[in-house]
Amino acid sequence: MSIYHLDLMSALGINVLLALSVYCPMVTGQLSIGNAGFMAIGAYISAMLTVHLHIPLFPALIAAGVVAGFIGLLVGFPALRLKGLFLAMATLGFGEIVRNFFMNFLEPLTGGAYGFRGIGNDPISVFWIWGWVIFFLIFLHFLSRSRLGLAMLATHDDETVSELMGVNIVRLKIGAFGLGAFIAGVAGGLFAHYYLYIEPEFFNVWKSIYMVLFVIMGGMLTFWGGVMGAAIFTLLPEFTRILHDWRGAFFGLVIIVLMIIRPSGILTRDMFRWDYWRPSLKEAKP
Amino acid sequence: MSVTPILSLKDVDKNFGGLTAVDSLDLQVLPGQICGLIGPNGAGKTTVFNLITGVYPCDGGAVFLGDREITSAKPHRITRMGVARTFQTIRLFPNLTTWEHILVAQNFLTHAGNGRRILPDRQREKELKAEAQEILTLLDLWGDRQRKAVTLPYGSQRKVEIARALATRPKLLLLDEPAAGMNIRETEELLHIIAKIHAKKQGMAILVIDHDMDFVMKICEYIFVLNFGIRITEGTPEDIQQDEKVKEAYLGKEE
Amino acid sequence: MFLQQLFNGIMLGSTYALIAISFTLLMGVLNMLNFAIGELFMLGAVFGLTFVNFGMPFYVAFPLAMICTGCTCLIIERVSFRPLRNSPPSVPLLSTMGFSILIGSTAENIWGSERSQFPQWIEPVDFHIGPVLISSTELIILAAAVVIMIGLDLFIQRTRIGRGMRAVAENIDTASILGVDSNLIIPAAFFASGALAGASGILFGLSFSIVSPFMGMEPGIKGIAAMIVGGMGNIRGAIVGGMLIGIIEVLSVGYLGATAKDFAVYGALFLALVIRPQGILGMLQAERERI
């Protein structure tokens, strides 16, 4: 595989993780447009740990993820009181606050607005990234098939009724937020150690928005949706080379069209049930 | 020797802005009893359900489940203590199958559903799955279990709501207009089902709201009549049928 | 010094107020957040500059640019709103995000990624009002913003279309029973929203001597923030919110340094959402669950 393909696979892997990080709160009905903030936290903390404290990569990634996840839990509390657009705006504001924080503070450690250079000498291999991707995919696979996953989906569908069926939606929603933040934090750490350079501007609003778009495009109610959306976004530029600079505009157009013809996204949860693909069985009951 | 009622409302008030929805309401349901709550539109019946289940806070008075006060408890706690309900307008989970509806409602009965344990308790899971099958079979929904609940016909959807509520192992089942929108055949079927449930789960009390007087008279042992948030009378179906105040409430005063 | 900063804050605040009104108009009438308004803001300035460069006088170029952005917003109505009326609200929002990307990328390709500015249009004369230094350009810009705001407020309160908008905002079904033609009102609201966003972009471009395809993102977000802080769906709230955000931004740059400005603004947004989500002038709609 050429360097170019490896780069592409690495970018894809990180985008998949970012999509999964948005999926977690989304499946409990919370739209978060601020996960770039958690990514930034993960990136900067892991970089500071490996560069300044010479901590090996694996523990640094875990620590970065845990810190991001913890902050996610903290943000999850006030988030409970906000619905829909308000929550989206609050998370957007959070992402911007984090970006600004790294732009203005900790400069001697992180280079501030000028960026953090020299995060290690060699980029991590693409296997590192995909190891984490596979881990989280397996984790989410078991989670979505479990009772907990079902409770999350029920919460997404109708929070009030779920609560009236005995589901502890507070714990579920905050937990989902924290989990998403953890995944984003790990993604940030991997990003930092692959590209060996980060600056606050990388983690801006657009990054957060694109993450959300992966999930929306690919399918909101199954974690494979985020995978598909990330794949489309990362790989599509390769297939639309002829468009040159118009690829961005094309992407915008794709979203607009998709929202009209298939707003729930490409993949749906039903597709993963064995009886979806056999129409004769759908009308079983006389 | 008197039995502690499974549900008692003592002097309960609820106001919305300047509007009094419920006024000094006293109400009691004995364990295993099927009671009805009737009254004209806007009398406050659904509000009472919302007060019992903790969706609205009470402005005054107290609500007891057995001898435990649940007046200011949160909805999911109240459900876990043994109160379950259905809704006036059907509220199913659009993305879940019939079977999954039952599973979700059972979640708090397992610890895995809570997130308290990671790995499920095999034995308990077996019991719960068997119980889920039993409930669905009782309500004649077993064949539809893999279908998305919102794709089922209207009458079946109402049954799914009831099945979901039963899955929480309630001591008190609140049915809000279970026969709404049903034709005569479906209403008959519903009557049979409620009777079956009552026979099967003898310790469980049921409180039914409905507009259909016939329906309520046939199924309930005891009836409370509400108007403008006040209990205007109570009694057995025979008593109620002859009560002037009830006729007045529904039909208006004779001019 | 403080008064000067305050004045500058009001200048900035009035452009934010106009964008906030753009957002809040659609939010109030249709409960829809049009994410593309930031890019329409940018288009206003970009179209304005293009028309000026074609030789049109300012007083033709600017209204024409506003009409163009208004029409662009009508396209958004046709594509992101009308077919998606019965979808959950996140769907039109995402569609407008798509538009935002589309418009931004297209503008970048057509106009290039360099920053430009409007040419000199009048001789700047500096006034002193007390300790505050104001240039004639700033005065005209401020006057234009104020005129637009007052005009819009009157329009909404006094004209038939304005009243129609308020009726639709209240309850779309009741409004149609009362004879309000929503097929007229809704596109009107979109057009007005787009035109306002364009106007705001032109005034901003004039004030701060900048016209670039990237200029829309930040004011767009701040416009949303201003709308929320002031109270959603409420035009006067948008004005208050816009002014407040503008003043906060300028004062924080003045007293805390340039890097602190976004902190202050987003911190204010965060606080507003946590403490009083309905905003300063907003009324908390009964978000009570109907069961």
pLDDT tens for chain C, 291 residues long, are 788 888 889 989 999 999 999 998 888 888 888 999 999 999 999 999 999 888 888 888 889 999 999 999 999 999 988 888 878 777 888 899 999 999 999 998 888 877 788 777 666 777 777 777 787 778 888 888 888 888 888 888 888 878 888 787 777 777 777 777 778 888 989 999 999 999 999 999 888 888 889 899 889 999 998 988 888 777 888 899 999 999 999 988 888 777 777 888 888 888 888 777 777 776 554 443 444
- How far, in Å, are A56, A208, A212, C218, C221 from residue A20 at the CA level? 25, 12, 10, 27, 25
- CA-angle at A245, arms to A239 and A251, nearest 5°: 60
- In angstroms, the separation between the Cα of residue B192 and the nearest Cα of chain C is 26
User: What pLDDT is recorded for position A281?
Assistant: 46
Residue with tokens 């934090």: A185
Interface of C with A in 84-103 (CB under 8 A): 84, 87, 89-95, 97-103
Alpha-carbon distances of C228 from A35, A184, C37, rounded to whole Å: 21, 27, 15
Say how far apart CA B137 and CA B130 lie, in whole Å.
11
**Is the confidence at residue B19, as pLDDT, over 90?**
no
**Residue A77 forms contact with C (CB below 8 Å):** no
Contact C273 A260 (CB under 8 A): no
Calculate the average pLDDT of chain A. Answer: 88
What average pLDDT does this structure show over B209-236?
87
> Exposed (0-12), middle (13-18) or buried (19+): which is A149, by Cβ within 10 Å?
middle
Expressed in angstroms, the distance from the first to the final Cα of chain B is 47
Range from A30-34, B158-162, B237-241, C86-90 carrying the lowest mean pLDDT: C86-90
Of all residues in chain B, what percent carry a pLDDT higher than 70? 94
User: A116 pLDDT exceeds 80?
Assistant: yes
Record: contact C221-A92, CB cut-off 8 A: yes
The total of other beta-carbon atoms located within 10 Å of residue B69's CB is 13
Query: Domain with C9 in it: what CATH number?
Result: 1.10.3470
Chain B, window 68-87: residues with a beta carbon less than 8 angstroms from a chain C beta carbon? 87
Residue B191 near residue B6, CB atoms below 8 Å: no
CA distance to partner chain B, nearest, from residue A167 (Å): 6
For residue C81, give the DSSP letter: I
Nearest chain B alpha carbon to C289: B55
DSSP string of B174-241, one letter each residue: EEESTTTT--HHHHHHHHHHHHHHHHH-TT-EEEEE-S-HHHHHHH-SEEEEEETTEEEEEE-HHHHH
State the CB neighbour count (10 A cutoff) for residue A102.
Answer: 25
pLDDT on residue A276: 65
Question: What tokens appear for A76 in the block?
Answer: 């999850």
Q: What pLDDT is stored for residue C289 in this prediction? A: 42
Pairing status of strand B205-209 against strand B172-176: parallel
**C262 burial type by CB count under 10 A (0-12 exposed, 13-18 middle, 19+ buried):** buried
Say whether C274 and A78 touch across the interface (CB within 8 A). yes
Strand partners, B66: none
* Contact at CB, A150 and B53, closer than 8 angstroms: no
Give per-residue pLDDT as tens, B96-135: 999 999 999 998 888 654 555 556 678 888 899 999 999 9
Q: Which residues of A touch C225 (CB under 8 A)?
A: 89, 93
**How far does the CA of residue B86 sit from the closest CA of chain C (Å)?**
10
Rg (CA), chain B: 19
The C-alpha atoms of residue C204 and residue B6 are separated, in whole angstroms, by 67
Distance CA A263, CA C190 (A): 22
DSSP string, A68-109: HHHHHHHHHHHHTT--HHHHHHHHHHHHHHHHHHHHHS-HHH
Q: What's the pLDDT at A1?
A: 63
Tokens of C6: 């305050």
> Cα–Cα distance between B161 and B153 in angstroms, integer?
13
For chain B, give the number of residues.
255
Mean of the pLDDT values across residues A128-156?
Answer: 93
- Position A278 scores a pLDDT of 62
Q: Which residues on chain A are in Cβ contact (under 8 Å) with B79?
A: 163-166
pLDDT of residue B168: 93
Cα separation, B217 vs B236, whole angstroms: 9
Which element (helix H / strand E) includes A191?
Answer: helix A169-195
Residue A286 has pLDDT above 60, yes or no: no
What's the whole-number average pLDDT of chain B? 87
SS3 assignment, position A241: helix
Q: For residue B253, name the pLDDT band (cuts at 50, 70, 90).
A: low
Among B10-24, B67-81, C117-131, name the most confident range.
B67-81
**Partner-chain contact A90 C274, CB within 8 Å:** yes
| A122, B252, C11, C239 from C242: Cα distances, Å | 48, 55, 10, 5
What pLDDT does B247 receive?
74
Contact list in B for residue C289 (CB cut-off 8 A) is 55
Instruction: Tally helices (H) and strands (E) across chain B.
Output: 9, 10
Beta bridge partners of B175: B208
Torsion (CA) B155, C288, B168, B5 in degrees, nearest 10: -100
Question: Number of Cβ pairs closer than 8 Å across A and B?
Answer: 90
Percent of chain B with pLDDT over 90: 46
pLDDT, position C91: 85
> How many domains, chain C?
1
pLDDT at residue number A137: 96
Between CA C35 and CA A227 the distance in angstroms is 25
Contact A228, A85 (CB under 8 A): no
Q: pLDDT tens-digit profile of A159-208?
A: 999 999 999 999 999 999 999 999 999 999 999 999 999 999 999 999 99
Contact present, B20 and B72 (Cβ < 8 Å): no
Mean pLDDT of A2-7: 84
**d(Cα C265, Cα A206) in Å, to the nearest integer?**
18
Q: How far is B87 from chain C (nearest CA, A)?
A: 7
Q: Determine the structural domain holding residue C106 and report its residue range.
A: 2-290
Q: What pLDDT, on a 0 to 100 scale, did the predictor assign at position A123?
A: 85
Q: Which residues make beta-bridge pairs with B20?
A: B15
Give the contacts of C71 (CB within 8 A, at least 6 positions apart): C191, C194
pLDDT (0 to 100) of residue A89: 85
pLDDT per residue as tens digits for the range A172-181: 999 999 999 9
Element (H, E) at C166: helix C160-170
Q: Is B105 in contact with A153 (Cβ distance < 8 A)?
A: no
In DSSP terms, B37 is beta-bridged to B209, B224
